[in-house]
Amino acid sequence: MGGPAVKGWFKVWLYGTTSVVAITPTAAHADPVSIGGVVLGILAPSLAASTVASGIVGGLLLGALGIAANLLFAPKPPKTPTPDTLKNSFELEEGPGVFAFGRVRAGWKIAFGRTDGYLIYQLGLHYFGPTGASAVETWIYDDREIVVEANGAVSSPPWTKYNGSWMTLKTKIGDGSENAWPELVAAFDGWTTNHRVRGIVQTLAIFENPGFSENPTKFNRLYSQGIKAVERIERAGLFYDPRDPAQHMNNPATWTWTMNAVLIALHFRRKRPGVVNADFDFALIGAAADAADALVETRAGENVWLGGAAPDGIVDDPGGGTGAYNPTTRTFSCTGSGGTSSARPLFRWIDAVEPGTRYLVGFTFTGDADRLNSIVLGDETVPLTATPVTVGGQPAIQYTGEVVATDNDFIRFTWDGRSAFSATATSGYVREKRFEPRARLSGGGQGQITTDFIQALYRSGGLEEYRTAQNKIAIRVVDDYPAAEGVIRANRIKRMRVNKGLESVDRPNVFQVEFYSAERQYVVSRVPLHGINQAGAYTGPDWARFESEIALTEEREETLSYEFCPSAYQAQRLARREAYMMRADTGTLVLSMFTALALWGKRTVDIEFPDFGAGDGDVVTKRCKIDAPRVDDETGEAEVAFAIIPDALTGDYLPNTYERAAPPVLPLESYEAVLDTPDPPNFAVGIKYLPGGARAGRNEVRFRMTPVTDAHRAEINMRTYTGALPDLWQGANERGLAMAWKAGDFEGQKLDARLRYFDEDLEGSYFSDLLEVGSLSRTNNAPGVPFVVVTPEGENTGGGGEPLDGWTVDATAPTGLSVVAIRVTASSSGGPGTGEFFRETVDVFPDENVTITVPWADTGLNPVVIEVSALSSDETASSAPAYTWTPPGP
C-alpha cells in the first residue's frame, strides 16, 4: 500500500560542506511505501563530528522515506543505453532505471545518507535485480581496489584497524525478498521495517569517523576529500536458459547467471511490449545458445619462447651415438655411430608451460633439418607438419603442430643420429592456444528497453532474429559464410541491378574496432589493430586496412563499435565480417510476388547470376545476404535487396592472422600501506595439552609468522571449510609478532590463514597471501631445549644440611611450536631425600617464561639435581639441562 506523500520541496545544507542537495518531490508511487519525494543525497565531504547535519536532517520526515523500486527507477523518455553509464555514481534523482548483465563494473546511486554519532551511513542502489548471491568479484572505492571480508569489513589499508575496520560494506541481491536494513532501523527512528527497497541490487556502506580532534591524522587520511563512490566488478543478473529443465521461464529464482549472448538477448527481447512467451521458439533458441557457448579459437597467447637467449640445460639420451647441442648457435649435431640406434639429444627448451594447456609449436631448421624425428612437449609427441621454406637463401624446413602439455614441462627434439648430422634452429615459437565462448555479452545502461537497444545486443553478440515457418521468434548466431536457406534461380529473376560495391572514393578502407573492455576497466575501448614495425610497414590484419586502395585514394576511416561485446577477439571476428560486407557488391532483384513469398523469413540465399561472356544460360551462383522483400501490390512484384558475401569470408577463420592482441590491462590502483605486506604465515601445526594442567586436554592450532620492519602488533585470521566452501574468517590470538594460536580441535581439517601487521599508530599493512593447509596435523616433535636459570633461596650458614627456602626455577620455553609444557624434577642420590622428591608440569606457549619453586628437601650432604625439560603433546621430551646444588660440608 502507499504511504503518505510529502509535498513541497526541501533544500538541505550539510554543515561544513560545499555540497548542497536539492530535493524536489514528484507524485509518489506505491509498493510498499511511497518515497514521498524525499531522498537525502550523498554525504558531505566534511565529517568531523557526530553533530554534522543532525539537527537539519533529523527534520526530514524520514518516516516517509519508503524507497520503492518503481519510484527510484521511474520511467523517463528513452535513452540509448551504454555500458559506460554503469560506472557512474550519482546523487539519486527520480530517473531512468539502471540494468546490467554479464560481467560489469557497476557504480551506484545514493538513495540515503545520514550520520548517527560517529557512524556515517550511505545506502547505494546499483541496478535492477535479481543477481547471484556471490556476484561481487572486486570491490572498488575511490577508483581503488579494496578487499571486503565475508562480514562486510574492509580489510585494505587505510581502512583496516585492529580487530575491525573504518568501513563496512553490506549488499543485497535485489530478488524482491528484501527486508529493511536492520542497521538503519536501529540507528534512525524514521527508518522502519517498511523501508525494504525491494528488487534492487544495493550496498549499505557504514563509515566510522575517528573524529577530527581525537585523531586528525587518521581523519584526514580517510575523509579529507569526502566520501567517495563505491563500485563493484560483478556478475550481474540472472537469465532464463530454456535448455535447463530445472528453470522456469517465469520464475527468476530458478535462473542462473551467464554471459551467453543468446540468453541475454532473449531476456531483454521478452521485456519488449507486445510479446508473450508463446511467441518464442525456445527449442531453436536453446540450440542457438549451444552455438554461442561453443569454444572458438582466438589469437594465441604470447610466445613462451621466440629465439634469442640460450635456454638452459641439455641431457643426452642414453641410446647409441653421441649427440650435442650448442646453445650459442642453437645447433644440434651428432657424430654418428654404428648400429641402428639413434642419438637423440634431449633439450630443456622452456620451463614456462602449464600441464593441461594446449600449445602451438613451431620451429625452423636449416642444415640437415630432415633428420628430425620428433618434437616432444612434456610426455606428448607433437604431430608435425613439415613445410619447406627458405631462410637467408638456404633451404630449410619449418615444423609446426599443436599439443597439450603434460607434467614434464620441457621440449625434447629427437633426431636420427645413426650417422653424422648438423641442424640449426633459426627461429621458433611456443604459444598458448586459446579459446573462448563464441558469443558473449556484458554491459548495461539506463532507460527503457528499446528496439535500438535490442539491435545493439544482436550486433554486439553477432546474432540475428528471424521468424520460423510457424511465425515464432527465434535467434541464431551468424556465421561468416552461413548456409543457404534457399535458391533464387536465374529464370525467376525479372530484373536485376548490381552495384560493384561503393566507389573506392566513398567506401571505408580503414577500420577501428571498439568493445566493452574489461582490460581498460569496463569502458568502451579500441582494439589496438594498426601496428607499424620499425621499417614503417603496417603489421595489422589486412581486413582492417586496405593498403592498395589507400595508395590510390586516401584514408577513409570507419569505427565499428560493439558496445556490449566483452571480448576483443569476438569484436574482431564481428568487425572483419562487417568490414568486408560494407565493401561488398550489392544490388536489387525484382521477383514475382509468389517467388518473393518463398523468401519470407530467410536471410541467406544462393542467387544465380547470368555468366556474361559464357554460353547462353550459363550462370554463376553467389551466396548472398538479403533483406525482407518489399511488395508492390499494384504490379504484383517484389524487390529484394542483396549483398554478395565476399570471397574473403568463405575460407577458414585464422585467428592468428586476422586478430591482434587485446589492449593491455589497466590495473586498478590500491591504497598505499605504511608497512610492507608480510609473507604468509610460515606454517601451522596442531597440539594438545597434557592432562593435569590448567589447559588439560585442550587442542590448539598454532601459527609461526615472520614480522615486517616497524611492526608493532600482529593480526592473524584463519578459516576452516564446510565441504568445498570456505567458512567465515575468524580471529586468532597473537603472542607477540611471531606466534599465534586458536583453541579448537582442527586436526585433519582444511584451513587457510593470513596475516597483517600494524605500526605504533595502528596503520595496517595489507593482508599476506594465504597459508593453505590441506589437512592440519598434530606435531609431536621433540621440542628444543628450554633456557633455564636456577636460584637457591634462603641462607645456609651452618653445616649438616640446615634448611634452605628452596630453589626458584626460571624457565623459558623453546620457540618451536610443538612445546606444550615445561617439566621440572628434583632428586638426590642419598639420605632422607634419596631419589626424586619433586615433579611439576606447567602448560606453556612457545617462548613463554614460567617460574616454578622447588621446595627445600633435607638430603643430608647429598647433592640436589634439578632437571628442566620441554614436552610435546605425547610427552616427547627435550634434552634436560641439569642444575646441581651441593650442600656445604660440616
pLDDT at 622: 94
DSSP state of 270: T
Residue 624: which residues within 8 A CB-CB, separation 6 or more?
604, 605, 606, 607, 642, 643, 644, 645
Predicted pLDDT at 414? 79
More confident residue, 484 or 24: 484
Q: Please say whether the beta carbons of 14 and 53 come within 8 A.
A: yes
Q: For the CA atoms of the chain, what is the radius of gyration? A: 38
**Cα–Cα distance for residue pair 505/515, rounded to 1 Å:** 28
Q: Could you report the per-residue pLDDT of 513-566, keeping only the tens digit for each?
A: 999 999 999 999 999 998 887 778 888 899 999 988 888 888 899 999 999 999
Phi-psi map region of 182: left, alpha, beta (phi>0 left; psi -120 to 50 alpha) = alpha
Q: Which three cell numbers stand for residue 754?
A: 593470513
- The predicted pLDDT at position 164 comes to 86
The secondary element (H helix, E strand) that includes residue 89 is: none
Cell of 464: 540475428
> Distance from CA of residue 93 to its chain's centroid?
32
Listed residue (58, 45, 38) closest to 15, CA to CA: 45
Q: At what angle do helices 282-293 and 261-269 cross, to 10 degrees?
A: 150
pLDDT above 80 (res 81): no
CA-based nearest residue to 147, from 671, 761, 518: 671
Of residues 335 and 544, which shows the higher confidence score?
A: 544
Quick check: 350 pLDDT over 50?
A: yes
**The predicted structure's pLDDT at residue 82:** 57
CA torsion through residues 679, 683, 686, 689, sign: negative
Q: Quick one: pLDDT band at residue 671, thresholds 50, 70, 90?
A: confident
When pLDDT is cut at 50, 70 and 90, the band that residue 352 belongs to is low
Q: Which amino acid is at 310?
A: A
**Exposed, middle or buried by CB within 10 Å (0-12, 13-18, 19+), for 243?**
middle
C-alpha cell at 875: 610427552
User: Looking at residue 327, what is its pLDDT?
Assistant: 67
Predicted local confidence at residue 634, as pLDDT = 87
- Exposed e or buried b per residue across 730-761, where buried means at least 16 C-beta atoms within 10 angstroms of its C-beta: eebebbebbbbbbeeebeeebbbbbbbbbbee
Handedness of CA 414, 417, 423, 424 (dihedral sign): positive
CA-closest candidate to residue 739, choices 673, 681, 656, 820: 681
* Span 371-391, pLDDT tens digits: 888 887 777 788 889 999 998
Nearest CA to 111 out of 175, 35, 199, 29 is that of 35
Of the candidates 71, 63, 73, the one whose C-alpha atom is nearest the C-alpha of residue 30 is 71
Is a pLDDT exceeding 90 seen at residue 852? yes
**Amino acid 268: pLDDT:** 96
Q: Which of 401-415, 422-436, 731-745, 853-867 is predicted with the least confidence, judged by mean pLDDT?
A: 401-415
Cis amide linkage into residue 158, ω under 30° from 0: yes
Residue 129 and residue 200 in contact, taking contact as beta carbons nearer than 8 Å: yes
Residues found in the chain:
890
Q: How much is the average pLDDT of 572-596?
A: 93
Of 796, 813, 822, the closest CA to residue 885 belongs to 796
Reduced to 3 DSSP states, what percent helix, strand and coil does the chain have, rounded to the nearest 5? 15, 40, 50
pLDDT tops 90 at residue 306: no
In this prediction, residue 409 carries a pLDDT of: 58
**Cell numbers at 803, concatenated:** 634448611
How many Å apart are CA 856 and CA 559, to the nearest integer?
A: 96
Residue type, 107: G
Q: Residue 516 has what pLDDT?
A: 96
Distance CA 734, CA 713 (A): 9
Give 636's contacts (C-beta < 8 A, 6+ positions apart): 592, 593
Burial class (CB in 10 A: 0-12, 13-18, 19+), 189: exposed
pLDDT tens digits along 264-304: 999 999 999 999 999 999 999 999 999 999 999 998 876 65
Ramachandran region of residue 200, left (φ > 0), alpha (ψ -120 to 50) or beta? beta
C-alpha grid cell for residue 587? 544490388
644 in Cβ contact with 586 (< 8 Å): yes
Residue 51: pLDDT above 50? no
Q: Are 757 and 716 in contact (CB under 8 A)?
A: no
Question: Could you count the other beta carbons within 10 Å of the beta carbon of residue 138?
Answer: 14
Place of cell 636460584: 791
Q: pLDDT tens, 613-661?
A: 566 678 899 999 999 899 888 888 999 999 999 999 999 999 989 999 9
H or E stretch covering 253: none
Cα 810 to Cα 145, 818, 828, 847, distances in angstroms: 50, 20, 20, 12
Within 13 A of 281's CA, how many CA atoms are on the CB side? 17
Within 327-453, strands assigned E span 331-336, 345-347, 358-367, 372-377, 380-381, 385-391, 394-404, 411-415, 419-432, 434-437, 443-446
Confidence label for 257 from pLDDT (cuts 50, 70 and 90): very high
Contact 837, 865 (CB under 8 A): no
| Strands laid side by side in the 849-854 sheet | 787-793, 806-812, 849-854
Banded model confidence at residue 337, pLDDT cuts 50, 70, 90: low
Q: What is the DSSP string of 703-749?
A: EE--PPTT--EEEEEEEEEETTEE---EE-EEETTTEEEEES--TT-
> In 3-state terms, what secondary structure has residue 95?
coil
- The vertex-113 CA angle with 110 and 119, nearest 5°, equals 135
Q: What sign results for the dihedral spanned by CA atoms 873, 875, 881, 884? A: positive
Q: How far apart are CA 144 and CA 233, in angstroms?
A: 12
Looking only at the bridges linking them, the beta strands covering 669-670 and 144-146 are parallel
Mean pLDDT computed over every residue of the chain? 81
Tell me the CA distances in angstroms from 625 to 460, 646, 650, 684, 732, one per residue in order. 19, 11, 13, 66, 67
